[in-house]
Amino acid sequence: MNRVPLDERRRLFLARQRARQAMQAELLQPVPKQSLSLSALSHHRMRFVVEAVVIALLLGLGFITLHAVTFHPPTSIVEALLPHF
């Protein structure tokens, strides 16, 4: 049988109880306010704008590339053999 001795169970119970109390005490602590300076706010705003521009640029380039590289198979053998001007 794999029974845990009584003193070991008591030790585990007390360890869990201390951990639970520490976690509850940490959760009850007030959250400190983080005041961002004006330069930090402008930096975050500028970073957001740059990221948005990069995403828009990548989407636009992908759209242009899609239309430039799209393969249009010929509809008939005659069209495939005719020279393209």
14-27 pLDDT tens trace: 999 999 999 999 98
Can you read off the two tokens belonging to residue 45? 């705003």
DSSP letter (8 states) at residue 73: -
Distance CA(79)–CA(73), nearest Å, equals: 10
The structural domains of the chain, with segments of one domain joined by +, span: 6-29+40-81
Predicted model pTM: 0.44
Q: Residue 59: left (phi > 0), alpha (psi -120 to 50), or beta?
A: alpha
Can you read off the two tokens belonging to residue 13? 């119970």
pLDDT given at position 49: 95
Compute the average pLDDT of residues 26-36. Answer: 80
The one-letter amino acid code at 64 reads: I
The one-letter amino acid code at 37 reads: S
